[in-house]
Structure 1
Amino acid sequence: MYCSATLEGLFRDTFFSRYHTVLEGGAEEPVYSPGAPHRIVYTRDYFRSALHEVAHWCVAGPRRRTLEDYGYWYAPDGRDAGQQQLFARVEVAPQALEALFCAACGHDFRVSMDNLDGDEAALRLEAAFAEQVHRRAHRYLEEGLPPRPLAWCRALAACFNTGWNGGAESLDRVFIFSAERMTPDAGR
């Protein structure tokens, strides 16, 4: 049911004519590459990775969408607590949008700290991070989604026939608060 190739076609149908951007899977590591067309490349064929990378694209403004990987800082797996706190600060908004995308298509959502080899202090941040992401997702709903995330949520809801209407109940239904380790299909 949740096939990443479906997301690629849906993304093209929803955004290509205005933003000249495509969504593609198959990468070992995700990346955004500006060009003709711009490319959002997600990990392998992971559905959640595709949603996560679209969330980053939705957060990035026009200037950042001209930069490789939006000009973001990224440290690989194995971050210490300080690096993990910085990671969490920049990931709250994209993961909140990803949670809303999951709600729109009826897919479970868990935060991803993307740091399986980090130290213990870094791993303890997960519960607090999940709460921040949940609050930010609710704030998006209260304030109203920006145009690109709203268009994507509507496209997902129509494609997956979920009846998503932007209400908090659909978010709360898919948002899983868990300290369990994520599967490789979880996020980035």
Structure 2
Amino acid sequence: MEHKLEDIIAIFDQCFEKEFNTKLIKGGDEPIYLPANEERPYHAIYFAHGFYSSALHEISHWLIAGEARRKLEDFGYWYEPDGRTEEKQREFEQVEVKPQALEWILATAAGFRYFASSDNLNGGVGDTQPFKQAVYEQVKFYAKNGLPKRAETLRQALAKFYNTGEGIDLSKFDITRI
């Protein structure tokens, strides 16, 4: 199955541009979310290097962010750059569980392979299994209790476009492959 950037951009924009004044945009080296301002009258989710996986990841952060956070650059989250210690890495992973669970669900709806991201190539990643397990547990929680409204809207649109079926099928989520 081919995954074109134009498709994910069109699907996202069709779901959210009008109601939330938000666009998905192919960016450069670093992903970033920028709220609307005088020069750009819409909110912009820039994903890195034109990678489909980066688009899904940045969208997932937007889906988690509440209305107040969507008014802040990068949703007001702290970000410790690559090279984190193992302690800082565990803190990073705690705030990444929900976005990465959504990313995995969206990737599955799009028929796209998800990989858990430590985003710490030059630091102390340590044992990633507890993080992967936490992401999987969050996926199971969403499957049982439902997704937030915007996330479900996008999941359904992706599943329809890529013809991957209805609902969240937990048999498609294999923790040993992420």
TM-score category (smaller protein): over 0.9
Checking the alignment, whether the CA contact within 8 Å between 1:108 and 1:176 is kept in structure 2 is no
After the TM superposition, which residues 1-188 of structure 1 pair with which residues of structure 2 at under 5 Å, given as runs? 1-35=2-36, 36-119=41-124, 123-170=125-172, 172=173, 176-177=176-177
Cα offset for 1:176?
4.6
Percent identical pairs in the alignment equals 36
Checking the alignment, whether the CA contact within 8 Å between 1:10 and 1:155 is kept in structure 2 is yes
Q: 1:58 to 1:93 in 2, by over 3 A?
A: same
Q: Superposition RMSD on alpha carbons, in Å? A: 1.2
Checking the alignment, whether the CA contact within 8 Å between 1:109 and 1:176 is kept in structure 2 is no
Cα offset for 1:2?
1.0
Checking the alignment, whether the CA contact within 8 Å between 1:130 and 1:177 is kept in structure 2 is no
The corresponding residue for 1:184 is: none
Count of residue pairs brought into register by the alignment? 173
Which structure 2 segments of 5+ residues have no match? none
SS of residue in 2 equivalent to 1:6: helix
1:77-96 residue CA offsets vs partner (Å, 9 max, x unmatched): 10001110110010000000
2:143 aligned partner, one-letter code: L
